[in-house]
Chain A
Amino acid sequence: DGGITQSPKYLFRKEGQNVTLSCEQNLNHDAMYWYRQDPGQGLRLIYYSQIVNDFQKGDIAEGYSVSREKKESFPLTVTSAQKNPTAFYLCASRPTGVTEKLFFGSGTQLSVL
């Protein structure tokens, strides 16, 4: 089945630790996105990538890093510089030029120990 897979479902981070959230898609989509969701707030864009080896900062990129070495994969690293990382993280993808077809993964809940 085609889709977007996020892993792990739940992740715990210790103080001062970097953690990486995985996002893989087999939909052959060019564009991929990372959003952060906090209770009572909308989704906020962290980073997005329209093509392999290229990505742009979203509205809240500080404390996060990404890479796009392969079309299928867009991992997000939450660094120790992100002081309030507890949130639900959503990855999404879509084909180029088809703005309405944004497909989401099932999310990763990150908590701080």
Chain B
Amino acid sequence: GEDVEQSLFLSVREGDSSVINCTYTDSSSTYLYWYKQEPGAGLQLLTYIFSNMDMKQDQRLTVLLNKKDKHLSLRIADTQTGDSAIYFCAESVSNTDKLIFGTGTRLQVFP
């Protein structure tokens, strides 16, 4: 079945770049997404990429997609303390109305 995997934790220094990685299994996914969750809150859509794209940049965020390896990454440039949160990768399941979420990566930014 479909599965999305992420590492659980990432710790970076303020001002450095953060790279959060994700692998997925459904090669026919149409869209892949990155969501951010702050403590005790719902998820907020950060960005998404269509499956026929390799890269998408949106201000400090860069998404890279390697379809051959089924690997997705989110790079946050100039990471700030306000970026500390849990980041979820998600894939759309082809021919359904469902999204499959990864386990989430907890990003901690220290001064």
Contacts and interface: CB of A to CB of B under 8 A. Distances in A.
A42 B88 contact: yes
Interface stretch (A14-22, A43-51, A65-73, A75-83): A43-51
Contacts of B58: none
Contacts of B30: 99
**Interface extent on B, as a size class?**
20 to 34
Interface residues of A, number: 25
A99 B31 contact: yes
Interface of A: 4, 6, 31, 35, 40-45, 48, 50, 58, 90, 92, 99-107, 109
Question: Mostly helix, strand, loop or mixed at chain B's interface?
Answer: strand
A104 B4 contact: no
A92 B33 CA distance: 15
A41 B103 contact: yes
A99 B40 CA distance: 25
B102 A104 contact: no
Interface stretch (B12-20, B63-71, B74-82, B91-99): B91-99
Contacts of A58: 98
Nearest to B6: A42
Question: Mostly helix, strand, loop or mixed at chain A's interface?
Answer: strand
10 contacts: A31-B97, A43-B101, A45-B98, A48-B98, A50-B97, A100-B48, A102-B99, A104-B42, A105-B42, A107-B40
Given A99-B92, A107-B40, A40 B8 contact: yes
Contacts of B31: 99-100
A102 B90 CA distance: 11
Nearest to B2: A59
Given A41-B103, A42-B104, 8 more contacts: A43-B43, A44-B101, A48-B98, A90-B43, A92-B43, A100-B45, A102-B33, A102-B99
